[in-house]
Amino acid sequence: MKTWNAKTEETDRKWFVVDASGQRLGRIATHIANILRGKNLPTFTPHADAGGFVVVINSDKIEMTGNKWSTKKYYRHSRWFGSLKEKTAEQMRGDDSTFIVSEAVRGMLPVNKLSKTLITKLKVYTGADHPHDAQKPEAYTIKHRAKAKPTSTKAKV
C-alpha cells in the first residue's frame, strides 16, 4: 500500500476571517501560520501548499504584552554602509500596522521556497472592511486561554 500525499492542485481552499482586535500578536500569528500551511486539516502534507487563505481585519488594534511596544525593534538595511534603519513597534503601528502582523506570521512559516507562496495567501487590513466578501470567508475565532490563578509560595502553618 502506498502512502497518499496531498497535491497542491487537489486541495480545496477555504477563506477565513480573523479579527485581530484585542488579540495577542504571537498567539494570533501561530493560528494564522497553521491555517496557511494547512496544519489544521487532516490532509496536511509538509511539502505541498494545502492551506487556506486568511483575511486579518483590525490589525491596528492588536495587543502585545509587557513593554514590547517600546522595546521591540524592526530593522531595514539597504546594504549600503550606515543605512541601517530601526523603528519600534509603536512607530510601526503608527506607520503601517499591517506590517507587524504579516512579519509575525512570516517568521512562523518555514524558511524555504514554499513560504513565499504561503505568505501571498495572507491579506491584512487595518479596519473592519475588506474586499474579499465574494469568496465567502468563514469567521475564525481564537479561543483565549484562562489565566492561571497565582499560587502562594508561603508554607501554611
Would you list the domain boundaries of the chain? 12-64+97-139
pLDDT tens digits, 17-51? 999 999 999 999 999 999 999 999 988 999 999 89
Angle (CA) 69-72-76 rounded to 5° is: 120
Distance CA 17, CA 15 (A): 7
* pTM listed for this prediction: 0.86
CB contact at 8 A, 107 and 36:
no
Q: Quickly count: other Cβ atoms within 10 Å of residue 140's Cβ.
A: 20
Query: What's the pLDDT at 151?
Result: 66
Query: What's the pLDDT at 145?
Result: 67
Query: What's the pLDDT at 11?
Result: 84
- The alpha helices in 38-110, defined as continuous H runs, are 68-71, 89-95, 97-107
Query: What's the pLDDT at 157?
Result: 56
Stretches where the chain sits below pLDDT 70 are: 145-157
CB contact at 8 A, 75 and 84:
yes
Question: Secondary structure of the chain: what % helix, strand, coil (to 5)?
Answer: 35, 15, 50
Domain 12-64+97-139 has CATH 3.90.1180.10: yes
